[in-house]
Every structure is written in structure tokens, then in C-alpha cells.
Chains A and B, each alone.
Chain A
Amino acid sequence: MASSRRLSQRQVAPWLFLAPALVMFTIYVLWPIAYSVTLSFYDWNGLYDRDGQFTGRFVGLGNYRELAGDPAFTVSLWNNLKWLVLYMLALPIGLFLAIFLNQTVTGIRLYKSLFFFPFVISQVVVGLMFSWFYAPNFGLFYSLVEWITGRGVAVLADPNLVTYGIIAAGLWPQIAYVLILYLTGLNNVAPDQVEAARLDGAKGWRMLWHVILPQLRPATFIAVIVTVIGALRSFDLVSIMTSGGPFGSSRVLSYYMYEMALGEYGFRMGYGAAIAVVLFAIMMVFISGFIWRMWRQETER
């Protein structure tokens, strides 16, 4: 009798422990995803009529068809691609810095934490710092280019350069993140394998490529994931540094979506939702690989 009560307690307990988190997560994450997907088939200005009824109009694939012919969407998509590709530079640079800092001289701990600094700072602040850095006429970058070439470049006002300027700002904290991942990884490289390889005459690049990098694979894996997410989430910097300009040339999907749904162009919730669905789909392509790998690890155990 008592033991059966204990057993049923053990069946109910996990759900009681899970309930608060699951309820919150369903309300604020799972349900909104489904709702956004539904909304992307509607034309809706975000309002309800006097009786509290939803005022949206079903348009089927209309929003998506419009997206296909929308030049601003194409620009955003291209810029997202630039972000993705160039953000990957954070990996080699972070690795290089980690190797540079993986020493045991005095004060190295302080150096490591100061190198990590940019990651702790809000992207809003990072954006302001780089705006100041690029500012025409007196910004350090502007002055430097002016000094070298005789003519300054106003990065954030040039449609051809602006996205690269923002990506450079984003790389700063991202490199810091990757750096810390690799430093932790390097700390856990098996010393006996390194010594054995040294006895075999391996050093420098060969050592790095054949002995060290294979052991850094978990770190590389996480670094790729956080870098992809970082690249696709790029909203703050675009918003702070340029608001998508000049002439919409620095828009990315996340920012364009916000502009369409809440910006000065009016409340096009359905259209915004369609942009969000595209962004979500792109993210899922990358993330499903990650989930798949984790899933395999879990089920093997």
C-alpha cells in the first residue's frame, strides 16, 4: 500500500516540478511561434475592433508572394548572409588570440579577463562606441583613413560599406566570446598527447591542425553555434548605429521585421510575421543540426 503510493508519487512529482517552467515556456515561447506562423497568412494592423474581435484578413500566401518581390527584403537577406559569413571570422581570430594568451606569465589572468571585456558590455554601448569610432571628421577611424589616404571615409553613411562597419563592431564582442571558449578548451587539451606529438617532431601549424584542433572540437562546435545565433540575431547594433540606413542599405531581417511590424511604416503585423518566419526557418536549418547532435549524444547514454 505504502509502496504503491510512493511509486505514484514518483510518477506525478516530475510533472509538478516541471509545471511552472512548462506553463511559462508554452505561453511565452511555444504558443507565440505557432501564432506568428498563423499570422503570416493574414493581413493585420495589430488592432481589434470595438467588440474585441480580431480584424485581420486571411490572405493565404499573399505576404510571402509580396516578400519575393520586395527589394528591401532582398537587401536584408543579403546582409544577413554577409553577417553569417563574416561573423565566422570570429572563430580563427578568437582561436589565434586564445593561443596568444594561453601562457602562464605574471598578470595573465587579468589580461585574459580584460580581453573578454567587450562581451560583457551591452551591444547598445558597443554600437555607440563604434559610432564614435567611425564618426565623420573626428572619429578615430575616419581620421586614420584620412591620414593614410588623404580622404576620410564616413563608413556609416556609405551604403556600400555600412554593413561591413556594423559587422566589425559586432565581431568585437563575438571574438571575445570565442576566445573564452577556446581558452577553456586549450586548458583541457591532454598534455601527454601534445608531448608525444612533440617527440614525433610536430610543431607549429602541423601540431595545431593534427593534434590540437581535433581536441578542441567541442569548443569549436559551441563557438559555431553561438556565432551563427549572434549573426542572425543582429538587431541591436543595426538599430543603434544606423536604424537600417542609409537608404535601408544596412537592414537585416530582424531589423526589417521590426520596422514593418512596429516602425514608422505602419503596423503590418502579418507581413512582419512572414519575415520572422523566414528568419526562423533559416535559424532552424542551422539549429536542427545542433539539436540532432545533442539528441544522439543523449540517446547513446
Chain B
Amino acid sequence: MNKRRNSLKRIKVSDCIIFSGLLLFSFFCLLPLILAFMVSITDEGCIQKYGYSLVPIKLSLSAYSTIFTEGAILLRSYMITIFITVTGTLGALTITGMAAYTLANKNIKYRNAMALFIFIPMVFSGGIVPWYMICRVLGLRNNLAALIIPGLLFSPFNFFLTRNFIMGIPDSLRESAKIDGAGDIRIAFQIYLPVCTPVLAAITLFYGLAYWNNWWNAIMLVDNPNMFPLQYLLLKIRTEIRMLEELRGAISIANLNLPTESLKMATAMITIGPIILLYPYLQRYLVKGLTIGSVKG
């Protein structure tokens, strides 16, 4: 009896250790974000006086209102990022989906050779410098195409993920559609597309996130401040205070209470806003995409 109670107690202790360990890491993940959010809604005067803090002493939304009323540069960057994310993701999905459909089709004799052709550059590539030179040769500089096409529009990893998924679909689906007289393009878009929703959702997330968070293309290929995507603008704001001065220039000099510190954090918050809003969906498909890859890849 005594022994049993002991073991019960021990399990409880180990449960507690596990739970508190997990909870601690959970806090570790969330706290920095909460801090950034709290700073963004704190009154600038308080920040200047007491520094950043987790609990805002005096609430103020002036940082956000400044962004929406005066931050023309920021809003333009926002529009650019939304544009490249939407068009880029749609284009990438089409290219990847079509290629995956074809190279999973057993009627195509050379499908494996073509898959190898796509695989090899994943392992052997020239690196950053040749990539930059190719982009220059193709004229992908200082235009929107430079933010959409190089490096992002087709990912071999996502391609193989999709292809693996399609290879798991019985061939009879394609054959029966063929007998009914459908062409390959029609089969791909009308019959396979709906069946592939899970994997397409996952790669939409991967592509969308890559576009949204991308600033590599901007730092390499874009010099024109009017074309900076959101992430790169954020980097510029932090590194070059001058950009912030420009933001400030739009406002009358008399207004000395411009919220600089909270403005910074508010900008960061606005950047991750859509991610927070879409988070439940994102997370579900991220996990799904990972498991699709790990089961069959």
C-alpha cells in the first residue's frame, strides 16, 4: 500500500517536471513577442523615461495611428509585399503543380530523368555570386519581377513534396478520366487539383511564407526605395535611422512627441499581423506538410 502510494507520488512529480519544462519553453517562445506588442502600445514618454517594459504603464495607440496617417512609405511597401506574395504564390503553385502532375504520370517515359534534372541543382549549385550574375544578365534588377522570380518562383523541395503526394493517388483516376475523353491539362486542373488540396495547402503556406518573409531578393537586386518590400524596409528602418527621419519629415517639426521606439515595434507588429491572424490555419497546414514529407519522402 505504502509502496503504491509512493509510486503514484513519483509519477506526479515527474509529470510536474515535464509540464513545467514545457510551459517554461512556451513562455520563452511567447514572451519576446508579448514584449514587442506591449512596447508598441506604450506611450512614448513612458518608454523614454522607464525603458521597455512588459506591462505598459500608460497605453497609447499613437504609434499605430502615426503609421496609418503618415507612414506612406510603409503602406506602399505593404502593398508591394502583398502583391508579390499573391502573384508569386499563385505562379509558384501553378508551375509546381503542373510539373508534379506530369512527373508523377507513369505514361511519361522520361519522368525520372526530368526529376533528376530538377534534383541535381538542389545539391550542386553555383551559390550566391553566379545567381546574382544570372539575375543581372536577365535584367532582374530594380523591378517587381526581381522580387518575384529569382529563387522563389519554383522550389524543388515543394515540387518533390507534391510529386510524392500525387504518386500516392491510384493511376486508375487518370486512366478513367482519359477513357472519358479528358485531355491531360483538363485532368490536371479539374480532377487532380481538388484531390491534391492537402498538399497544395501545405505548399501554398511554404511559398506564401517565403514570399512574405523574403528580403534577400530586395537586398541583392533592388536599390530603389520605392520598391522595397516590407521586410527589407524594416531592416532599413532599423539600420538607417535616416529612413525614420524621412518618415518623420512628413510630420511638422513642431511635433516633437513622435513615437520613435514604439513606432519601431508597431511596424514590426504590423508586419507579422497577417501571420498572427492566419496562424491557426498556417499551423495546421505546416504540421500536415511536414508529415506528408516525412511519411513518403
Q: Do A and B bind each other?
A: no
A-side residues, CB < 8 A to B, are: none
By a beta-carbon cutoff of 8 Å, the part of chain B in contact with chain A is: none
